[in-house]
Amino acid sequence: MGDYLVKALAYNGQVRAYAVRTTETIGEAQVLHQTWPTASAALGRAMSAGVMMGAMLKGEEKLTIKIEGGGPIGVILVDSNSKGEVRGYVTNPQTHFDLNEQGKLDVRRAVGTTGLLSVVKDVGMREHFTGQVPIVSGELGEDFTYYFVTSEQTPSSVGVGVLVNPDNTILAAGGFIIQLMPGTEEETITEIENRLKSIPPVSKLIQQGLTPEELLEEVLGKENVKILEKQPVAFVCTCSKERFGAAITSLGVEEIQDIIDTEGKAEAQCHFCNEVYHYSKEELEELKQEAK
């Protein structure tokens, strides 16, 4: 079964919901970046939340999530769009600690709790929408929940989880986002809150083989959920030699000439997928002409 995401309504349209299976997608990120278990969990949680937030967009819209918690993992960066495409990386992928008191991967310690979670949405306008909130937990699920409530004024619950095998590969990953629409009845809110308190961790549910549809049924009750749409999810990087070439062009004529004189060539590496692009002296000369 490949990774995919579902969009749903529940409680007769009072609740909007998303759920995703990202096991293979996070597995690809783990291989690309050789992340150690705690870093895998942090990156996987952020990417799972990111791909569901991307599903809230339309058309060619896209978003970037930046998590700077002050912890040893450094910055977590995630890009996603409305098509189920996501990519991400962490500054220090070889970050790992002993399990915390709950016997889980210590994501809070890796991420830190003294920084910011930022979301920049590119919706095709000249100005981008930027939302920024302090990190309140470092576990990330709670931090995304706080972001929705504070920055987008949408009461939400975000559950994201990643389980890692002893050999560092990804055993299970995914998550859900539950959002209350304006005018949701109090009894509906109480019922959802009680359900959220009683369910196992999301990664355990995915490990048990629950599909995204079944995940939402577990959280909201089978009789309450109406699935609207299903969408494949994948790790997709949008880097290209042309894009990096444009970045070199933007350095200006003098800077490019300096690279030609001192190095005679250039190379650029993508942080997201680690692809390396090489530029010969002739290619640099062409880029210099474009810079003029």
Tens-digit pLDDT profile for residues 222-262: 999 999 999 999 999 998 989 888 888 988 888 888 888 88
What per-residue confidence (pLDDT) applies to 1?
Answer: 65
Q: What 3-state DSSP class applies to 209?
A: coil
What per-residue confidence (pLDDT) applies to 135?
Answer: 97
What per-residue confidence (pLDDT) applies to 15?
Answer: 95
CATH classification code of 4-235: 3.55.30.10
Angle at 232 between CA 228 and CA 236, to 5 degrees: 140
Rounded distance, CA 69 to CA 73, Å? 9
The CATH 3.55.30.10 portion of the chain extends over: 4-235
What per-residue confidence (pLDDT) applies to 281?
Answer: 86
The CATH 3.90.1280.10 portion of the chain extends over: 241-291
DSSP state of 222: G
Rounded distance, CA 106 to CA 100, Å? 5
- The residue among 206, 205, 180, 175 whose CA lies nearest residue 193 is 180
What per-residue confidence (pLDDT) applies to 37?
Answer: 96
What per-residue confidence (pLDDT) applies to 224?
Answer: 92
What is the tens place of the pLDDT at every residue in 50-61? 999 999 999 999
Residue recorded with tokens 């989880």: 161
pTM for the full predicted model: 0.92
CB 162 within 8 A of CB 26: yes
CATH topology of domain 241-291: CBS domain Like (3.90.1280)
pLDDT beneath 70: ranges in the chain: 1
